[in-house]
A and B are shown apart, each in its own frame.
Chain A
Amino acid sequence: MDCYTANWNPLGDSAFYRKYELYSMDWDLKEELRDCLVAAAPYGGPVALLRNPWRKEKAASVRPVLDIYSASGMPLASLLWKSGPVVSLGWSAEEELLCVQEDGAVLVYGLHGDFRRHFSMGNEVLQNRVLDARIFHTEFGSGVAILTGAHRFTLSANVGDLKLRRMPEVPGLQSAPSCWTVLCQDRVAHILLAVGPDLYLLDHAACSAVTPPGLAPGVSSFLQMAVSFTYRHLALFTDTGYIWMGTASLKEKLCEFNCNIRAAPKQMVWCSRPRSKERAVVVAWERRLMVVGDAPESIQFVLDEDSYLVPELDGVRIFSRSTHEFLHEVPAASEEIFKIASMGPGTGVFSKESQKADEYLREIQELGQLTQAVQQCIEAAGHEHQPDMQKSLLRAASFGKCFLDRFPPDSFVRMCQDLRVLNAVRDYHIGIPLTYSQYPCQLTIQVLLDRLVLRRLYPLAIQICEYLRLPEVQGVSRILAHWACYKVQQKDVSDEDVARAINQKLGDTPGVSYSDIAARAYGCGRTELAIKLLEYEPRSGEQVPLLLKMKRSKLALSKAIESGDTDLVFTVLLHLKNELNRGDFFMTLRNQPMALSLYRQFCKHQELETLKDLYNQDDNHQELGSFHIRASYAAEERIEGRVAALQTAADAFYKAKNEFAAKATEDQMRLLRLQRRLEDELGGQFLDLSLHDTVTTLILGGHNKRAEQLARDFRIPDKRLWWLKLTALADLEDWEELEKFSKSKKSPIGYLPFVEICIKQHNKYEAKKYASRVGPEQKVKALLLVGDVAQAADVAIEHRNEAELSLVLSHCTGATDGATADKIQRARAQAQKK
């Protein structure tokens, strides 16, 4: 335990700082760091080095080299820099490398040195060149701030959504500021700059001079300034070797320190952790590193090599040509346990291995602090870098846990899980030295997975997902999809192999979108591969947009139809309509009945002419005929037009070998012409009546001759004519004519209808006339209709028909029919006897 705290350095009374090695660097650098432009991403991110950046046109043969390494110094990419001179490098929050060129162009590279895109910081920058640039991170993303040759600042708060803002001028600024930085307050980025003894704050409206409260007198210039990771604190280094530390709002001073070194430091960064009371600043010169805080003494380290500081959320990473170290404040839990002469409960549990363990434990238990002790051990384990130490602490926690009744196990379990993940990604080969405060406290598992995917560490990412039992959609399938997207970019592998490999790995894992992968393949110019991949997409609807994009419209059409989504089919149809000539379009439709009927429906309401063309194309004469029939009464008004439409229809029906329809249509033409003539000659309304109604109207109008002529012309069957006349004459109540008609010849419909119709018109007298002429089968019914129950009974008895007898009997109501009823009963009885 003594040796454990050996690297603890106290700062003041309350805090310890320790520095431990993360990696010994693997990168075998030839140059000194100071000869390179360096950028290291926070959260254990990659390091970019641009060698020889300042040799300009003079030695064109020696191009600068851009190298990207992991935090452990494993090379990730290396490329010759062929663009213009670079002023500054920086990493975005998505781990993209932003290279700010002198001409204001910003080139964006991926982690593997793949060029992504570029953007410009505006014309003004182009003219005045870039003097200095900073890449900074806010909650909106990563921003770029630029100081131009004209001593003006231009800023973009989010490079993903580029909006350039030119900051106002600083009055009387003649030379470049001695130092400057970007502050982010109230979600707005400001620039703080120092000119001689003055500080100015630029926001997008104005420039205001500011003075830090409690600043020691005698300052003639500021040499360095540093903002904390969270933009909450600010440190200023003056030419008197005096360091002011306060809030970034410049409203409050935290402390000050005088180091008596007047040389400008190489770097100055904050070193604090979330929720820690202690705040310290790390200042680095060529060979010296100093940690200063609210204490009279500082901690000093000697730097053997040229080093570079990377501020982190909870400490500072320091790397040089040979090592990579981490400097941070010892977390409270560790301090409680390990501090010399510590009385914290955790200490007791941790020392269980000594002989007095039992005694200690009992003591803690009596104090009721065992729960707290166990928790401290768990937490302290999280902050340890060495697995051995993590294990010891966890073992201690687990031992202490045994003496507790109801200690919720999840914090312990979760810590074990988190540490396994952390140890895995800290591994030398992976090289992401995250601390417990960074993951899982700050970064989520999703971000961590994204970073692994970005480094193409798919197997590890999947193992982590499986280990943490993440739902497939969030975990494994997302990673597989990324893997597949990477896979399709491997141009040296054949389409078949790629498709097969992808399908083998992905199978039908839920949440994997084959269409996304196919889109990526198409983006790489591999259309055939994209189509192969789309075959695996189970939702046909998803396949369609990409197929359309790839100009595989016909395939898209069949996929759309498969999906059952008619809107999708319609989208493809319109696409096809514009893409193909009419003939081909119709041919395509012809092979797809579902699409055809959909399009027909649309045409019926919106494009009638197209509908006709469609039928024409298909030689669908039947439908064409129907089309013209409809036109004959819907579209045409003049009689000639209507007849002409009917004629076209009839021709079409003949072609369709539908003689019946053709004949019917021709009849209609004749009828129309005739009706027209009737209207001319007789007046009244005839047009558009059916044949039946035309004849009826004629009879009602007293034009019997013409009616009969019409009946002959159109070969109206006798039966219909009789019904028709009967109804019409009865409606007219022309009883005389009716009687004449009934006697004209033998009725083809019998005489019962005559009886019925008279009764309907309440003319019993006339009805009786016909009742006698009704044939024997219907006689009873007729007699009953005219109310002659007695005679009906006679006939029924004569017929010896049981059904008729009951029918008559059911009509025997009233007193008068009593006799008849008896008669029927007698007849029945007689019939039964026989």
Chain B
Amino acid sequence: MAFPHRPDAPELPDFSMLKRLARDQLIYLLEQLPGKKDLFIEADLMSPLDRIANVSILKVRSLSLRSCPSFLFEQLCFLVRPRIKNMRYIASLVNADKVAGRTRKYKVIFSPQKFYACEMVLEEEGIYGDVSCDEWAFSLLPLDVDLLSMELPEFFRDYFLEGDQRWINTVAQALHLLSTLYGPFPNCYGIGRCAKMAYELWRKLEEEEDGETKGRRPEIGHIFLLDRDVDFVTALCSQVVYEGLVDDTFRIKCGSVDFGPEVTSSDKSLKVLLNAEDKVFHEIRNEHFSNVFGFLSQKARNLQAQYDRRRGMDIKQMKNFVSQELKGLKQEHRLLSLHIGACESIMKKKTKQDFQELIKTEHALLEGFSIRESTSYIEEHIDRFGSPRFFLPVLRLLCLLSITENGLIPKDYRSLKTQYLQSYGPEHLLTFSNLRRAGLLTEQGPGDTLTAVESKVSKLVTDKAAGKITDAFSSLAKRSNFRAISKKLNLIPRVDGEYDLKVPRDMAYVFSGAYVPLSCRIIEQVLERRSWQGLDEVVRLLNCGDFAFTDMTKEDKASSESLRLILVVFLGGCTFSEISALRFLGREKGYRFIFLTTAVTNSARLMEAMSEVKA
């Protein structure tokens, strides 16, 4: 299956250079401290590090930061994210050494950059003179041929909740690195406050280091920056594309996933790298889940046939087969059985939790139908699944309800919150305060109680008319305006009969044909127009009036090939569904998309970032 790319689709740039750069820099930094040393690696950096270098290359004894430190050598090197709590931890180690009268060399390597606040803490703790600091500018990890991740999940909370802008500079630096390596980007678009800031900072960097990128032929023709808060809805939906579903179910971490015993059908779990190199996965990653099983069984039959060819072979052919094909077949066999196992496991889990019911509710929310029923469905969920491990999925539904409806009506807002606190504990009072600040879960003000009326209307008048009324109503309110945007951008496809998920017509297939991801639709529209022209209304509805920009260079040095390569930058994370949708769009239009995200996210991660949980 797996739709092939159009023959004229451009080649992707080779991003493995980024890995080499990062690895060489790290080795260089470590060699600055000659001799044997203990290397402490922060847990968050372990997986990214694993992707670019195996620890044996580093020729050091490495320990994870949180494990109880057992010292061997006279030199200690810390590889950490620039976080204050890490500084305090290091300070406690160093001070303990001081008390014990041990002298040792300490070096702290910050990745991707050092922050002044961290040095401040070291100074306050009185160890600034004892440690030397360095920066490991490892900000771009190629997770796949078309996916670069900054592996900064905290970006989302720091910026969108706390208003902390320190990572924006890191993004600008990363963009600068890309443009120095792969040529300038002739066409730039963006939407969102953060996107604009990052873009401007990056331009400043380019101006300061003038000349380096000048005159280079651009490899990537367009860059599109997008803030996560422009489209929370898409990120909150349950994912039904295979890769997204695997992420939702097993959590893909840094491009690999731990399949437990229930998947591997053995007694141990297995870490599997999920990327384009996995032939089986590559063909199903972007598929709607309903197709995956059929595809896998077809594949299994083919594989069997391949094996069966052995029967008619003479010795020479057999020798050939064993030496050349057998290894590949066995590999494929292994992968196939893994993915089949994963599928089974997903199916088991999803039926248990009334997955169909859930999806139905989500679709109802997206389309704006039967809001009352959905609300009671959510309420029932809260009542039924009182145990703390369910707090995330329910919270997600609450947010989805709030955003699609421009906030909850006050009565619901209160009762749902009360119910929620009763089920999941009082500390979520803070979670609600966070969600309110981020605009994810709000209460309708006195001015916009209209949705109550609206939902009644929508029950009476079906489809088209309701849409129009909704539109008129929500344009009055200054909130998420999802309904109006959805109408303007035609996010809910009109379905005549069954939506054929095997042969998708549009990007809506990633949500079973019920909804075109807003973020992807915006990108599609802007690329089509090569500007924001004609989208003024949408931009206004997104409350991004001042933050949508286009910047195109006049000189046309870009080849037509590069003009079909598009770098999409998600500030605050993107989901696998969005990636799949844009990959689909690329195949349809002959583009290739490259994704740069601060981290790969999904609804659970978003909600976690906003939650206050007892430590």
**Contact (Cβ within 8 A) A690 B120:** no
**Contact (Cβ within 8 A) B426 A668:** yes
Cα distance A689–B424 in the bound complex, in angstroms: 8
Interface size classification for chain A:
35 or more
With beta carbons under 8 angstroms apart, the residue of A665, A668, A690, A717 that contacts B386 is: A690
Contact (A724, B386) CB under 8 Å given A566-B115, A566-B165, A600-B162? yes
**Contact (Cβ within 8 A) B124 A601:** no
Shortest C-beta distance, A761 to chain B (Å), equals 14
Residues in A neighbouring B422, C-beta threshold 8 A: 690-692, 714, 716, 720
Shortest C-beta distance, A513 to chain B (Å), equals 11
**Contact (Cβ within 8 A) B426 A693:** no
Contact (A717, B429) CB under 8 Å given A601-B162, A602-B117? no
Shortest C-beta distance, B268 to chain A (Å), equals 29
Interface: A570 (CB within 8 A) = yes
Residues in B neighbouring A690, C-beta threshold 8 A: 386, 388, 421-426
- The stretch of B145-153, B412-420, B481-489 that contacts the partner chain: B412-420
Residues in A neighbouring B200, C-beta threshold 8 A: 564
Cα distance A605–B388 in the bound complex, in angstroms: 26
**Contact (Cβ within 8 A) B124 A598:** no
- The stretch of A20-28, A236-244, A629-637 that contacts the partner chain: A629-637
Interface size classification for chain B:
35 or more
B interface: dominant SS: helix
User: Closest 7 A-B residue pairs measured CB to CB?
Assistant: A692-B386, A597-B163, A566-B166, A605-B84, A567-B116, A668-B426, A720-B383
Cα distance A104–B124 in the bound complex, in angstroms: 47
Provide 26 A-B residue pairs closer than 8 Å at the C-beta atoms, listed in order of the A residue.
Answer: A564-B172, A564-B201, A566-B169, A567-B166, A570-B116, A594-B163, A597-B165, A622-B433, A629-B426, A629-B427, A630-B427, A634-B615, A660-B417, A664-B417, A664-B426, A668-B426, A690-B421, A692-B386, A692-B387, A692-B422, A717-B383, A719-B379, A720-B386, A720-B419, A723-B380, A749-B380
**Contact (Cβ within 8 A) B421 A723:** no
**Contact (Cβ within 8 A) A602 B423:** no
Q: Mark B145-176, 1 if CB is under 8 A from A, else 0.
A: 00000000000001000111110110010000
Chain B residue at minimum C-beta to C-beta distance from A634:
B615
Interface: B384 (CB within 8 A) = yes
Cα distance A667–B426 in the bound complex, in angstroms: 9
**Contact (Cβ within 8 A) B210 A601:** no
Cα distance A717–B116 in the bound complex, in angstroms: 52
Among A496-544, those with CB < 8 Å from B are 510, 539
Shortest C-beta distance, A756 to chain B (Å), equals 10
Interface: B197 (CB within 8 A) = yes
Cα distance A167–B615 in the bound complex, in angstroms: 71
Other contacts beyond A570-B117, A692-B386: 13, CB < 8 A: A564-B172, A567-B166, A601-B162, A626-B429, A629-B427, A664-B429, A667-B421, A688-B425, A690-B421, A690-B423, A690-B425, A691-B422, A719-B379
Interface: A565 (CB within 8 A) = yes
Interface: B85 (CB within 8 A) = yes
Q: Mark A677-717, 1 if CB is under 8 A from B, else 0.
A: 00000000000111111001000000000000000001011
**Contact (Cβ within 8 A) A594 B165:** yes
Shortest C-beta distance, A191 to chain B (Å), equals 42
**Contact (Cβ within 8 A) A598 B427:** no
Contact (A664, B120) CB under 8 Å given A629-B427, A723-B383? no
Chain A residue at minimum C-beta to C-beta distance from B417:
A660
Shortest C-beta distance, A515 to chain B (Å), equals 13
Residues in B neighbouring A594, C-beta threshold 8 A: 163, 165
Cα distance A771–B237 in the bound complex, in angstroms: 34
Residues in A neighbouring B423, C-beta threshold 8 A: 690-692
Cα distance A693–B172 in the bound complex, in angstroms: 47
Cα distance A668–B165 in the bound complex, in angstroms: 35
Residues in A neighbouring B197, C-beta threshold 8 A: 564
Cα distance A664–B210 in the bound complex, in angstroms: 58
Cα distance A606–B166 in the bound complex, in angstroms: 17
Cα distance A665–B429 in the bound complex, in angstroms: 8
**Contact (Cβ within 8 A) A629 B116:** no
Interface: A571 (CB within 8 A) = yes
Cα distance A723–B423 in the bound complex, in angstroms: 12
Most buried by A among B197, B208, B427: B427
Shortest C-beta distance, A609 to chain B (Å), equals 14
Interface: B310 (CB within 8 A) = no
**Contact (Cβ within 8 A) B429 A606:** no
Shortest C-beta distance, B446 to chain A (Å), equals 15
Interface: A583 (CB within 8 A) = no
Contact (A629, B429) CB under 8 Å given A539-B208, A570-B116? yes
Cα distance A691–B614 in the bound complex, in angstroms: 16
Contact (A660, B414) CB under 8 Å given A602-B117, A690-B424? yes
Contact (A565, B169) CB under 8 Å given A660-B417, A690-B386, A696-B386? yes
Cα distance A648–B166 in the bound complex, in angstroms: 33
With beta carbons under 8 angstroms apart, the residue of B168, B384, B417, B424 that contacts A723 is: B384
Cα distance A234–B117 in the bound complex, in angstroms: 61
Contact (A539, B85) CB under 8 Å given A570-B120, A664-B418? no
A interface: dominant SS: helix
**Contact (Cβ within 8 A) B120 A574:** yes
Cα distance A601–B427 in the bound complex, in angstroms: 20
Residues in A neighbouring B424, C-beta threshold 8 A: 690, 692
Residues in B neighbouring A566, C-beta threshold 8 A: 115-116, 164-166, 169
Residues in B neighbouring A593, C-beta threshold 8 A: 163
Q: Mark A746-772, 1 if CB is under 8 A from B, else 0.
A: 000100000000000000000000000
Interface: A485 (CB within 8 A) = no
Q: Mark A629-667, 1 if CB is under 8 A from B, else 0.
A: 110011000000000000000000000000011001101
Shortest C-beta distance, B117 to chain A (Å), equals 5
Residues in B neighbouring A719, C-beta threshold 8 A: 379-380, 383
Among A701-747, those with CB < 8 Å from B are 714, 716-717, 719-720, 723-724, 727
Cα distance A534–B201 in the bound complex, in angstroms: 19
Chain A residue at minimum C-beta to C-beta distance from B198:
A564
Residues in A neighbouring B85, C-beta threshold 8 A: 605
Residues in B neighbouring A598, C-beta threshold 8 A: 164-166
Cα distance A605–B85 in the bound complex, in angstroms: 7
With beta carbons under 8 angstroms apart, the residue of B164, B165, B208, B414 that contacts A564 is: B165
Cα distance A560–B172 in the bound complex, in angstroms: 17
Chain B residue at minimum C-beta to C-beta distance from A649:
B429
Shortest C-beta distance, A597 to chain B (Å), equals 4
Shortest C-beta distance, A502 to chain B (Å), equals 21
**Contact (Cβ within 8 A) B164 A601:** yes
**Contact (Cβ within 8 A) B158 A601:** yes
Among B298-321, those with CB < 8 Å from A are none
Cα distance A566–B82 in the bound complex, in angstroms: 13
Among B415-459, those with CB < 8 Å from A are 417-419, 421-427, 429-430, 433
**Contact (Cβ within 8 A) A630 B430:** yes
Shortest C-beta distance, A614 to chain B (Å), equals 14
Interface: B612 (CB within 8 A) = yes
Contact (A665, B164) CB under 8 Å given A622-B433, A633-B614? no
Chain A residue at minimum C-beta to C-beta distance from B382:
A720
Cα distance A574–B117 in the bound complex, in angstroms: 10
**Contact (Cβ within 8 A) A661 B429:** yes
Residues in B neighbouring A565, C-beta threshold 8 A: 169
Residues in A neighbouring B29, C-beta threshold 8 A: none
**Contact (Cβ within 8 A) A630 B612:** yes
Contact (A606, B165) CB under 8 Å given A664-B426, A719-B383? no
Chain A residue at minimum C-beta to C-beta distance from B421:
A664
Cα distance A724–B425 in the bound complex, in angstroms: 16
Interface: B121 (CB within 8 A) = yes
Residues in B neighbouring A696, C-beta threshold 8 A: 386
Among B63-106, those with CB < 8 Å from A are 83-85, 88
**Contact (Cβ within 8 A) A539 B204:** yes
Shortest C-beta distance, A45 to chain B (Å), equals 35
Among B359-414, those with CB < 8 Å from A are 379-380, 383-384, 386-388, 414
Q: Mark A581-619, 1 if CB is under 8 A from B, else 0.
A: 000000000000110011011100110000000000000
